[in-house]
Each structure stands twice: as structure tokens, then as C-alpha cells.
Structure 1
Amino acid sequence: MANPKQIENLLLTEHFRFTPITLIDDVINAVNERAYHASDAIESSLMGADPTILGFGSRAETEGRIPETDEEGKPVFPEARLEIEEGVHQLETLLENTIDKNFDKFEIYTLRNVLTVPEELVPWVRLEHYDNLTLPSPNTPTPTPESLQLLRRKLQETQKLHSALLAEKTRNEVLLSRLRALLSPAPSTTSQTARASKTEHSSPTRSETRDASNGAGAFAFLSHGPAPQTLGIQPLPSIAATPSISTPTPSSDPITTHTTFTLAQLPALRAQIAALRPYLATTSLPTHSAAAGTDEAAEGARERREYVESQTRRVLERRGVDVRNGTAVEGRRVAAEEVKALEEVVKVMSRGKGAKQDQESDEGDRDKMDTGD
């Protein structure tokens, strides 16, 4: 854990946008740069001055030596340049030491008294860019790369599931439309069924044959016909009048109502069967003789057969099959007048054929007579 001084430095750094020691270092660097410029200026001025003025001539006289002269006759002191460079270097060293010593004190004073925040005020300081900042609750989990990757996977799986559900919905809509087509008669079939009870049966048209091959209205007799109307079952609307699948309209469904009621009665029926099952092996239930049982079985078989025949005849009549004479003949019923007309045509054809045979026999006899002669 950071100590109070480090916390204070962090607070000042965040406030100034730079560390406090950086400010002091910049001040010291600026002073050192001015000192270097001053030493360079001193060196340049000493190098440009006359060595005699700087005291080198007096020292040569004191030492009793004669300095050399240049082309113009001026005395030359080679040691002057070396001594000036050494003196300037010593001056720079002295200035650096003095600056470092004094500015170390400046740094300590500034950090302790100027660039500082009292320790007891640090917890109460709020910087400007922290205004109106809502801090997260400590109980809020911090997102990690693993948690983000898990969320991405969940999103991908959710999208896959959504696509699969949309595809399943589309398939269910198609299946429901086909089932409704099976229970809903075609528009032409409805009008024909109404006319079938009043007029003679006619052969099925091409459209009806095509609908029958596609299975449209194959189970329409469950809700459209005399038997369902007798039971009080309302007919379903035709395929053309059925609204779109995506926007179903509320309507009464008698088949669903009767089926729901029947299914609701099944548990009670099962309970009664389970209660009566133990009595089947006993003689407590009334029994009949074998002959009576045989008669009842025959009667029941006869009733079932008659019911099946009646229902079959009704379905065949609705399909346009003639079953009035006890046989199933596809196509329309032939009227008595048509039969008589066909019989007359056959008689005429048979008369013409007989006359032709007589003519041929007469011609054969004549040929024989001619040959005999």
C-alpha cells in the first residue's frame, strides 16, 4: 500500500499534469544553462583580450624572460590560452557546485512548504475532473476478458437459437396451412356438395381431381356435411376465406370444444374402468347364456356393418359415385331415356348387319349357280 507521501505526490501530479520534482528540475536546468552561457561569454572575452593587459607581460618581466613576438611585433604568450581555459573550467566547476548546493536547499524547501498538501486534507480533496462522477459500487463485479468472452458466446448461442426458432415457426405455419387445407373444403367443392343433395351426381371435374390428388379437403367431411351439422359442429371457413396465418382472428372452434370436453372426461372414465376391473373376474356382474351372447354379438356386428355401409355410401355419394343399385359405379347416373336410345341404336346396327349378311349370302349362291352351269 502507498504511503501518505506517495499519495500526496500522486494527487499533485494528477492536478498539475506533471510531477512536482519535474518543476524543480526545470528550474535547476535553466539556472545551469544560464551559468554555462555566462562561462562561455567570459571565456570568449578573455580570449579576445590582450595578454599584456591580463598581466602576462608583467609576469614575464618579473621572471626575467623576453616573450616572443609575432609578425606585427606584438608579444605572444602561448601559456595565456591554456591558463584561460583552465580558469574558465574551474569557474564552471565552482558555479555548478554552488548552484547544486543552493538549489538542493531550494528543492527541499519547495517540496516541504510549497508543493505539498497536508496529510489530513488529502482524503477531502476532489479534483475538478472528478465532479459529478458516480463511483461504482464495491459489490459490482469488474468485467474481465473471460466474462466478456462468455457474454459473446451467450450472444452467439442466443442468435443461433433465435434463427432456429424462426425456421421452426415457418415450418409450423406451413404445416398448419396444410392441415387447415385438409379440413377446409375448396370453394368449388362446397357449392357442389350443396347441389349434390338436389341434383344427380356428375363426374368429377379436372380441378376437383387436382384438389383430390393434392389432398386439399380430404378430411373436410369431418366438419362439412350432414353428419357434423347433425352433431351441431359448425363448418370451417373455406381456404379462400381463411385469413393469413400470421394474423389469426378469434372464432369459435366447435371441434376443439368437443375434443377438449372429451379429453376432460377421460380421467373420470379411466377411474370408473379401474374401479370396475376387479369385478370382471367375479360373478357379481350379471351374465347371459352363450346363445344370448352369440345373438348380441351378431346383432352388434350387424349394426356395425350397417353403420359402416351407410357412412361409406354417404361418402361415396358425396364424391359423386352412384351406389343406388348396391354397386359402386364411378361417374354420373345414366337416365332411362339414354338407355332406351342406346338400345335403339344397337337394334338399328344389328338390322344393318343382318341385311348385309343376307346380301352376301345371296351373292354367294349366285356365284355357285354360275359355276355349276
Structure 2
Amino acid sequence: MPSWNRSLVAVPAAIAVVAVAGGGLLAAARGPRDQSGAAAAPLSATVAKASAATKTRAATKVAVDATKLPTGRDPQLTYVRGRAVLGGVGRPVRVPGEYEIAAAARLWDTTLTVQITSATSSLLMIQDYTGKVVNEIRSVDSLVTSADGKYVAYASGGQFSDHQSGGTLYFQEHNTGPADVLRQPKLTDVAVLAVVGHEVYFRGGTEPGSAWDLYRWDTEKMSVQKLSKVKSPLSVAADGSLAAGMTIFTDSGQCTAVLDVAGQLQRWRTCQYRLDRFSPGDAFVVGLPPGTGEPYGEKRTAVLDARTGKLLREWTAPSLRAAVAEDDDHLLLQWHDRQEPQSRSALVRCTVSTGDCELATPISPEPLLLGS
């Protein structure tokens, strides 16, 4: 009796197996169909395409050839093409003269450019909305605007100075009178790194060639604070919360770290990249090859998570000479077709989340410079 019961159970099971197999054979004979009854793509092909798309989106390292890119939006940040200051807020302004333009920025409808007049001298030219030159300040060699475009700071005593002790910092709001001035006679290699409201972050050394320290100038209180735990600062985030500083610098290489400015605690460090500018909302920080840099650009530029140091994306090209975050998901790259003085160039916009790039300006042999 027990064996008979087992036989009855086995028969329906066998029928079920045959039905499943038969259904599979029938489906295979008919082929996949979509809801309209039309033939659908084979499942294996669909999965393969999805897998390939996922791999493309997930590619960490992306080669950039501007000659093959689609054209996208114009740059939303200030840049210089030839002698014209373009992009950002305001109409195009032509810069008079023949001196090389080393930095450019806009303060609403005011245009500011740092120009190199000799190997050890420079000047800041200020032009109004019509392009008229309204002021020139000698020896200024660094220039930075706030993220909201309301404030600007600039300084003398830096890279184009005669390297004697002493630097002067200037702070100005849009449509106000003369700039606030802070003189630092005992510092050398002075440079502005960030402007956050009425606070100016700047670096300086105690003697030529010495390690830099980070300082914060409160322009309303006219007070200066030394942030002693941030050594050899390279950049400061747009909100002043984070700073990147060099922790190791030897003949064998260098390491840089991201520090919390308020607590002056080190969050993370990298010896594979030299950290540069932060994105506006501190989503990422630009990473360049370690070392002092090539005279005509690097061959790779990366972005790392500003909070964790995780590599998010890296782009490679014949020559990448500057990179500035347009927002927290887009990076403007100053692309050149070769590492030589005479090269064709363009601004290329790359998306951090996907790695995709597009042309933001046409390719041209005219000089190109991303703004401060």
C-alpha cells in the first residue's frame, strides 16, 4: 500500500516536468515576443547590452579626444580665449595690451586679470563693464573670487615677485569703494587660496623656500588667524570647511591630505595624486599627478571624493593644463592636442558620475586659460 501511494504521487510529478519542458520547447520554437506580439530581442543579447552599458558607465579611466566629442553648452565659468574674457556673468571683455594673462576673474560686471610683465613682476588690471581700464595694481600675482561671485581677493608677494619678504592682500566687494588692505611684511610666497564671505584664506612662508602656513583673514574684524595644523596648503574648499595640504615632499615623491579646517584634523591622504581645487559643494577634489607639474600640462587629471578620498574618475589626454569644477558633477578641462607651446586647445566638460565628455568651446590655436 505505501508503495502504491508513492507511485500515484510520482505520476503527477512526472507530468509536471514534461509540461515545463514542453512549454520551454514551445516558447523556444515561437521565439520571444513583446506585449504587442512582435518578436523581442533575445534575452542573452539584452543582458549583454545592459552589461556593456554598465561597464561603460562604471569605467574609472576615460581617454579624452576633443576632436571626436559632441558639442555641448558654453562654459558657465570665466575663461580667456586670446585676449577676450568670456563665460560666467557679464558680456565679453577684451583685455588691452600684449602681456601674458596668468589669471582672470569677474566680480559681477567688473573684469580682473593678472598679467605677467616680466619674469619677476606682474600687475592686476581692472576693467568696467564697457572694457574701460579703471585701475592697475602692480605686483599682484594671485586672484580668487568667492563661489557666489560677490567678493574678490588678490595678493602680491607670490609666484611672480622677486621673492623678497613681504606681501599685501586686498579684499573687495562688488560696487564698493577702495579694497580693504592687509600688509604682511614678514611673509613670503603669499597667495590667496579662497574667499568665503568676508573671510580670506591665504598661504605664506616665513622665508623664501620655506614651508607654507595657512592663514584666515577676517576682513570685518581686520584680524588674522594662523591655522597651524594645515601644513603647505594647496587649496581651500569654497565654504572654508576643508583644506588640502602637502604632508610629504621628497625627491621620491609627495603626499597630500584633506583636513577638516574647523577641527584641523586630517581626514585622508593620497600619495598617488597632488590635490588641487575643490568642487563648489565639496563633492570632490581635483587630483593631478604628484610632482611639481609639467610645463605644458599633465597627461591625466582625476577627481576624488572630498570626504573619503575614493577615486571617482580619471581622464587622460595628450595635455591637460587646468581643471576647474563647474558644479558638483561637472569638471571643465583645459584640453590641448600636444605638450608643446604651439598647440590647439578647447575647454571640455566632463561629467563625474558617468565619465562622459563634450566640447564646451571650439578647438582653436588661440591661447586658452580657465578663470580663477
TM-score by length of 1: 0.19
Q: Which of the pair is proportionally richer in helix?
A: 1
